[in-house]
Each structure stands twice: as C-alpha cells, then as structure tokens.
Structure 1
C-alpha cells in the first residue's frame, strides 16, 4: 500500500511510453525510407485511448498519495511531497511531448494521404 502512488505513476509512464513509441514508429519518423513515409496511417483509437489512460493515471497519483499519506512518518512524507511534485512536473512534460508527437503524426498522415490522392489523379 505504501508504494501505491509509485505504482500508479509507473503505469502512467508505461502508457505514455507506448503512445510515444506508437507515434514514432507508426509516423515513419524513425526511417529514412521515403516510401515508408508515404504509408503513414492516422493516429489509431488505441493510441488515443492510451493517451487518455495516461492522463487519468497521471491525475490519479495525487489521490493515491492522499490514501497513503496518513500512514507515513513526517520525514518520509516530506520526502514524498518533494519528489512527488517533481514527478508530477515530469508527467506534465511527458504529456506535452505526447501531444506534440500525436500532432506531428496526424499532420504527417494528412500530408501522406494528400500525396496519395494527388498522385492517383495525375496518372
């Protein structure tokens, strides 16, 4: 029970990492092959729901800490509060990185779809 906030934050970080990997891999950002960049698909619902789950778990860290906090000794509670705010700031930055990656993949997919449609009409 003592590590409940850590477990919730770790689950959130795992969901966030999955979103980032999905955007980087599916968006064609990790390849230099131009034909792979043309096959970019839009962001899927699984990735969008993983991002929502990340946000929910990120917000659930504070209630998890509120559940555990009454049983902590004063020095340990002070340490948890100090590191907790740093962890929440990290979760917020990670959420911003996810939004940027989701946006870049969506724009990349839109441009790839426009290229495909324009090529099909010019033939």
Structure 2
C-alpha cells in the first residue's frame, strides 16, 4: 500500500475575458519544505504559464530541511536545561482549547456562500487535451 500526503490548494478564477485562470498552492509537496505557487491559463492545446514559483529554487544560506527541526530542538533543550524562554512560545492546553473554541465559533456562524454562476462563453476552455476532471473537483 502507498500513502501520499498532499497539502495543496487549487483555485479556478474567471478573468475579464471569460477565460479560466488556474492556481495551485502546494506545501511540502513533493518534498518536505518544498512550497510552490503556479498560476496558468489554458487554450485548447496549450498551457500558458503566468507564474511558476518554487521556494527551493530561491537562494538560501543554510539547510532548510534541518533548520526548522534544529531550531525547535534548540528551543526545547535551552528551555529545559537553561530555563531560557523559547523564540516562539510553546502551545499549551489553554492555547489548544482557545483555538478549538475559535474554530467551533467560525464553523457554527459561517454564512451561506455566494451562489456559483457558471460562465459558458464560446471562448472559454473548460478542459484542454492534457487536463482532467480531477482538478475541477
């Protein structure tokens, strides 16, 4: 059995020319600490890239894959052994309860979302030859 963890947000927008604009935010995908943003449009036979950004492509001094873990371990050991306050406060039960109450409040008071209106103009491409229905939900 293979399990895949996916942390992605997909959006589909309509531009002023009634074309679909696709966007995908991916976090820790396909590798840990590899975050990316892609924005594109499609015609019948090609994909037009508007923006393609990958966090790992940026210059960085250090090791991103270990640095976060090292910082957390350092905070914990400094707190336990040297009684130094961590660079970011450790969450506690009270924090967890407050967060859950806030999430419950948001969930119980959410308003109805806007009604979706579909644009069926002649120049809009719903699916190109390379795409699939999975991306549209």
- TM-score grouping bracket, smaller chain normalisation: under 0.3
Q: Which has the higher contact order (CA 8 A, sep 6+)?
A: 1
TM-score by length of 2: 0.23
Compare CA radii of gyration and give the structure with the larger one: 2
What TM-score, normalized to structure 1?
A: 0.25
Query: Counting strand residues as a fraction of each chain, which structure ranks higher?
Result: 2
